[in-house]
Structure 1
Amino acid sequence: MGDQFIEDILNKLQNGEITREKALLKLKKQPFEDIGFAKIDHHRKLRQGYPEVIYGAGKTVEQIIEIISVMINNQEKVILITRIGQEVADQIREKYQIQYDPMSRIGIIGAFQSNRGHGSIVVVSGGTSDMPVAEEAAITAEAFGNHVIRLYDVGVAGLHRLLAHLDEIMSAKVIIAVAGMEGAIASVVGGLVDCPVIAVPTSVGYGASFNGLAALLSMLNSCASGVCVVNIDNGFGAGYTASMINQR
């Protein structure tokens, strides 16, 4: 999108030729910057409230760095790169200041957004082994300006651990329930609260868990109302959706 295009819209808006709503719609429709191997969606923040996030898996370090450069030149204040390893983060750090969390495998360039949420997002995990996915959800939500409370290793094998945190759970605006094995914690939490519960099945578990398929099916079949489900190990998707709910 060129400067002349924006100037024309602003002039028409100033002269009363178009309404504010129509001007905003025209801006929202301007799509992307084509850099050959990728098309950077600069207007995603305008359309959806959040900038484009870089999915790092499968990309070369050079590709990630070039995408970061284009986004910074477009005045993006916070850039998330998901699913990258320590080695990739170290190579990015040679050019840009990056915060890297090895647990969630998320890299962040820039500062977290200021708190824009209307309440707390509570991230609950069944076991310690679910923490990488839970942290991906939590850090994503924090980066987009939400207050996050973490309650880890509170699964149904010891339900008293979860019940010891009823105040935090029942005052949440959104809950993200992360679990592998049989994924039962989503139904338990869903039966306690009056807010949406986003269930995240993980690939944690023994053979018959089928790399998260058992937890996925269990969560999809939850008898608790208000439970929705994202894909296996999709902590990012859960954190993003929880942020959208918390900021409406």
Structure 2
Amino acid sequence: MDEEKLRQLLEQLKRDEISIDEVLDNLKELPFKDLGFAKVDHHRELRKGYPEVVYGEGKTEEQVVEIVSEMLKKDSNILVTRTSQKTYQAVKEICSQAEYHHLARAIVIRRRKIEVSDTYIAVVTAGTSDIPVAEEAALTAEMMGNRVERIFDVGVAGIHRLLAHLNVIRGAKVVIVVAGMEGALASVVGGLVERPVIAVPTSVGYGASFKGLAALLAMLNSCASGVAVVNIDNGFGAGYLASLINRG
């Protein structure tokens, strides 16, 4: 239940349109609903401004469906990250509005109109192989009401590709840079823009990249000012943080 719905409920009580018992029925599952295997946080939107996001990996189809079913009762937009086509089909059976984004491996359900920001977030990848993580970041940001500009495959192996899109990148309020291998792109972008840069190391690369650890350490040691780093492959975290900056 968001703040506006809570306000409407109290206004109805004030006008004697509903009883105290009816109000209690609406509020009894606040602040969370205990499903046994999960506790759905209905207060998340009141505290954070956006409903709880469901991390799908490691959950069974039945668990995801039950969590989504509970969240649908509150009529909020829903994002399920790191999930499969098979789980999506199960969710689709209980909600025809569900959409599956293959690259991001995410399910989205839009129940309310999303007001889109005037300013935008730029999502930049070093390579095509980084796009799945970048799409998770972009989709998260879009679900939170942000305009997103995608700029893919502009890594340091061909720096002219990045420079060709510099005007778009510099026009963003915040830039997400997604890169595997040696993770150098975040430092390069950080040295070219006056906006905050959120670096996302990916697990893309040959053996000595250590499944993203090399990129993570390179980004943490960036000599460019204004570069912050999230965890390996954490597109969701980058998209969420970028949204807070863009809409702040």
TM-score (norm 2): 0.86
Indicate conservation of the 8 Å contact 2:123/2:138, yes or no: yes
Residue equivalent to 1:149: 149
1:73 aligns with 2:55: no
Select between 89-98 and 166-175 the one with higher mean Cα deviation. 89-98
Relative to structure 1, the CA distance from residue 10 to residue 90 in structure 2 (aligned partners, 3 Å threshold; closer, same or farther) is closer
Q: Provide the rounded CA distance (Å) in 1 between the counterparts of 2:63 and 2:137.
A: 24
- Residue 107 of structure 2 aligns with an amino acid whose one-letter code is G
- Report deviation, 1:85: 1.1
Indicate conservation of the 8 Å contact 1:112/1:145, yes or no: no
Q: Provide the rounded CA distance (Å) in 2 between the counterparts of 1:127 and 1:111.
A: 34
Q: Provide the rounded CA distance (Å) in 1 between the counterparts of 2:72 and 2:223.
A: 45
Q: Provide the rounded CA distance (Å) in 1 between the counterparts of 2:118 and 2:231.
A: 26
- Residue 70 of structure 2 aligns with an amino acid whose one-letter code is V
Residue equivalent to 1:21: none
Structure 2 gap ranges (5+): 15-26
- Report deviation, 1:116: 4.2
Residue equivalent to 2:161: 161
Indicate conservation of the 8 Å contact 2:80/2:106, yes or no: yes
Residue equivalent to 1:42: 42
- Report deviation, 1:194: 1.0
Instruction: After superposition, give the CA deviation of every residue in 1:4-26 in whole Å (9 maximum; x if it has no partner).
Output: xx79x959xx8xxxxxxxxxxxx
Map of 1:124-135 to 2, 5 A cutoff?
Answer: 124-135=124-135
Identity %: 62
Structure 1 gap ranges (5+): 15-26
Residue equivalent to 2:224: 224
Residue equivalent to 1:211: 211
- Report deviation, 1:115: 3.4
Indicate conservation of the 8 Å contact 1:122/1:175, yes or no: yes
- Report deviation, 1:214: 0.1
- Residue 40 of structure 1 aligns with an amino acid whose one-letter code is V
Pairs aligned (count): 226
Q: Provide the rounded CA distance (Å) in 1 between the counterparts of 2:69 and 2:170.
A: 42
**Aligned partner of residue 122 in structure 1, secondary structure:** strand
- Report deviation, 1:75: 2.3
Q: Provide the rounded CA distance (Å) in 2 between the counterparts of 1:10 and 1:100.
A: 37
Instruction: After superposition, give the CA deviation of every residue in 1:84-133 in whole Å (9 maximum; x if it has no partner).
Output: 11111122212212110111101011257523435110000000000000
Residue equivalent to 1:180: 180
Residue equivalent to 1:22: none
Relative to structure 1, the CA distance from residue 92 to residue 234 in structure 2 (aligned partners, 3 Å threshold; closer, same or farther) is same
TM-score (norm 1): 0.86
**Aligned partner of residue 224 in structure 1, secondary structure:** coil
Q: CA RMSD in A?
A: 2.0
- Report deviation, 1:31: 2.7
Residue equivalent to 2:107: 107
Indicate conservation of the 8 Å contact 1:118/1:247, yes or no: no
Residue equivalent to 1:20: none
Indicate conservation of the 8 Å contact 2:64/2:87, yes or no: no
Indicate conservation of the 8 Å contact 1:115/1:147, yes or no: no
Indicate conservation of the 8 Å contact 2:121/2:174, yes or no: yes
Residue equivalent to 1:85: 84
Residue equivalent to 2:32: 32
Q: Provide the rounded CA distance (Å) in 1 between the counterparts of 2:187 and 2:79.
A: 31
**Aligned partner of residue 78 in structure 2, secondary structure:** strand
Map of 1:190-201 to 2, 5 A cutoff?
Answer: 190-201=190-201
**Structure 1 runs, 4 residues or longer, greater than 2 Å off:** 111-118
Q: Provide the rounded CA distance (Å) in 2 between the counterparts of 1:101 and 1:149.
A: 17
